[in-house]
Amino acid sequence: MHRAHAVLVCGWLAACHSGPSPLRLGTTYTVQQSGVLSVLESLWTGPRFTTVVAPSGQILRAAASGDLDVVITHAPALEQRLLVEPGHALLRCPLVASRFAIVGPAADPARVATAPAAAAAFRRIAAVGGPFVSRGDSSGTHVKELALWQAAGMTPVSRWRIESGADQAATLHLADERDAYALADLPTYATLRGLSLRILFVADTALTNPYTLYVVRHPGAPAAAGAFARWVTQAGRAAIAGLRLPDGTPAFAALAGGCAGSATGQW
């Protein structure tokens, strides 16, 4: 079955195809680069869908404008503010969770590997003046990074914090080139080859990275959106949970629960 895959093209998918309009899926770079998107594309046998890949913030704003039918993002605070509270979410479907890790040079001058918590690791990075490469792009990874700086009671400064403005893979390659620290989505990090960056810190529940699927409420929303959401939270979720990191451990943990509807902005 033919599916189109776009990265910020086609004017948010307004008219990329002739014939019946495809289901419009918006998702994040980490979903694409970790292999999750290809799993969904290979297994779905329903109506064709077209995909836009962008940072979570951009995806959620496009959904709120009615330009997408289904989104998969990993920025809970943004999801609540941009999609749920304004009433743009018809269904909310827990999907899977991965983990973030703090990565950096093997020499680890900030002693991140021995920190007692993620916030403490960030304080140590600030104390030695980084360098630290941030995505700086309103992605779920960027939002998590900002939350960790806040939890650390630190305001990073531009002389040692570099904003890549790029996707996860490009950001990690830049951090590798600069011998810098970065926040990484573990499944995406695991797909990259030739990096000298090391996983230094991962053992903190603050580094949990949940992904949620939303069916968007807008005039003319296709019936296929609900069917796709239910499929993803059953067969699709099970397939994603089967993905493995290089050491054989699961890359994603399935989240419990099916799709829930809301008319009030609360679930």
230-241 tens-digit pLDDT: 999 999 999 999
The structure's pTM equals 0.89
What's the confidence (pLDDT) of residue 108?
98
In angstroms, the CA 195 to CA 240 distance is 25
Q: What are phi and psi of 82, to 5 degrees?
A: -90, -25
Residues in the chain, total: 267
In angstroms, the CA 51 to CA 29 distance is 11
Whether 136 contacts 182, CB under 8 Å: no
Q: Which residues contact 80 (CB under 8 A, 6 or more apart)?
A: none
Residue 34 burial (10 A CB sphere; 0-12, 13-18, 19+): buried
CA proximity to 82, closest of 214, 192, 197: 214
Q: What is the pLDDT of residues 128-160, one digit of tens each?
A: 999 999 999 999 999 999 999 999 999 888 899
- Of 8-17, 23-32, 137-146, 149-158, the poorest mean pLDDT is in 8-17
What's the confidence (pLDDT) of residue 149?
97
Statement: residue 11 has pLDDT above 50: no
| DSSP label at residue 244 | B
180 against 46, higher pLDDT: 180
The percent of residues in the chain predicted with pLDDT above 90, rounded, is: 83
Domain residue extents for the chain? 4-98+210-261, 99-207
Tokens of 220: 């003319």
In angstroms, the CA 86 to CA 79 distance is 10
Report the run of H or E that residue 199 belongs to, with start and end.
strand 198-201
Q: What is the pLDDT of residues 47-105, one digit of tens each?
A: 888 999 999 999 999 999 999 999 999 999 999 999 999 999 999 999 999 999 999 99
Statement: residue 9 has pLDDT above 60: no
CA proximity to 214, closest of 27, 36, 4: 27
Instruction: Please tell me the CATH code under which domain 4-98+210-261 is placed.
Output: 3.40.190.10
Q: Could you tell me the CA-to-CA distances from 104 to 74, 101, 193, 244 in Å, in that order? A: 23, 10, 15, 22
Helices (H) and strands (E) in the chain, counts: 11, 12
Query: Would 4-98+210-261 and 99-207 be classified into the same CATH topology?
Result: yes
Is the CATH code 3.30.360.10 the one for domain 99-207? no
